[in-house]
Each structure stands twice: as structure tokens, then as C-alpha cells.
A and B are shown apart, each in its own frame.
Chain A
């Protein structure tokens, strides 16, 4: 029979509302986290980062929250705009064997409706 593909979770919001995208990470030793935005047909672009010695960091219209107790990361977008429609990835930095590697989550699609 037909195989079922993996589907991205989708968050649908109205233009002007606030968006919250969540991410669970795997390694309690990870010390650095990034949110990337990927628009259709483009590579991922950096949005905001946070180190493990912080629990909150703000940028322009975006805020990242880090809860190390439950290994959870969230991205908040204020006053969401149609241009925010994209796939959002969280990434954690794993340092092992002397090398830094970014490990990515599966992504969340944000759909902004007028």
C-alpha cells in the first residue's frame, strides 16, 4: 500500500497574533541553542540564539525561552506577520570528541493567515 510520509507539525495563527513554537531537546549537556527559519526554496537562516547560562533572550519581535529542567526551548514571535510563514527549526550544540555539531529538531511549520 501507499506509505505514509512524515508530516511537519503545523501552527496556524492569525496575522497580528503572537506565536509560540516549542521544541524539546535531547542532551542535558547541550550548552547552546539556536532557532532557524527556513522559507520555501531557501536554506535555514539564523533567528536568535541562547546559551545555557541564560533562560531568556529577546530580539526584535522574537524571544527565546530555555527551560533546562525539562529540556525545553520555545520561540515566541510577537505580532506575527505573513512574512513569518516558514518552517522553524531548533538546534542544540553538541560538543563531543573535540568538535561542535548542531543537532536539529524535525521543525514546525508556521502558517500565518490574514
Chain B
């Protein structure tokens, strides 16, 4: 079974802290994604990566950065956490298919609260 593991289920951080959310997948997928999920807004794409050391901005990248040093690991970084970044964060991975869409496999989510 595909497994996408996020390092924390729940996090509480203070405003201004630097926050790292870690994600690891075990299926050798090329593509990895970070979404945030807020009630009534669905899942919004923050950043994605299609290869090691490569990254692309999604729809809401402001206030975030990412790191992909190894194929299996994709980290989301909140440079200076703010209360409006309180949310559920979801990591996902998928195979590179060269154009044809394919399903993404999700982790269990990290609920981040910034106080």
C-alpha cells in the first residue's frame, strides 16, 4: 500500500515562529504536493514538486516555502507563522505520468494552530 506519512498530527506554535511540516512517501513518486484545507474552501494548493530540488508555486504560496532534498521527503516551511495560517495541512504524492492525470495519495494531515 502507498503510504504518505506526515510527521505530526497536531501542532501548536506561536506567532512568529518558524515551523517545519514534514512529509515522507514510500512509493518512489516523483510528484509531491502541499495543500491547506479550510472549511468551505476545499483543498488549496500551496506548493508542489516534480523532482528532487525542484519546486513550483501553487495557488497560495505566500508565507510558505518548501524543500525537497530527497525524493521521498517534502517539507513545508512557515517562515514566520501567523494566526491566519492556522489550518489543516495535507501532503500528497503521485506518479509522474507525462501529462495524463493520475490520483494523488494523501497523508493523514497536520492540524496546525498558531497562537
Q: Main SS of the interface on chain A?
A: strand
B42 touches A104 (CB 8 A): yes
Interface set, chain A 36-91, CB cutoff 8 A to B: 36, 41-46, 49, 51, 89, 91
A101 touches B48 (CB 8 A): yes
By a beta-carbon cutoff of 8 Å, the part of chain A in contact with chain B is 5-8, 31-32, 34, 36, 41-46, 49, 51, 89, 91, 93, 95, 97, 99-107
29 interchain pairs, CB-CB under 8 A? A7-B39, A7-B40, A31-B100, A34-B101, A34-B103, A34-B104, A42-B108, A42-B109, A43-B90, A43-B108, A43-B109, A44-B43, A44-B106, A46-B103, A49-B103, A51-B101, A89-B42, A95-B99, A95-B101, A99-B31, A100-B100, A100-B102, A101-B33, A102-B33, A102-B104, A106-B40, A106-B42, A107-B40, A107-B42
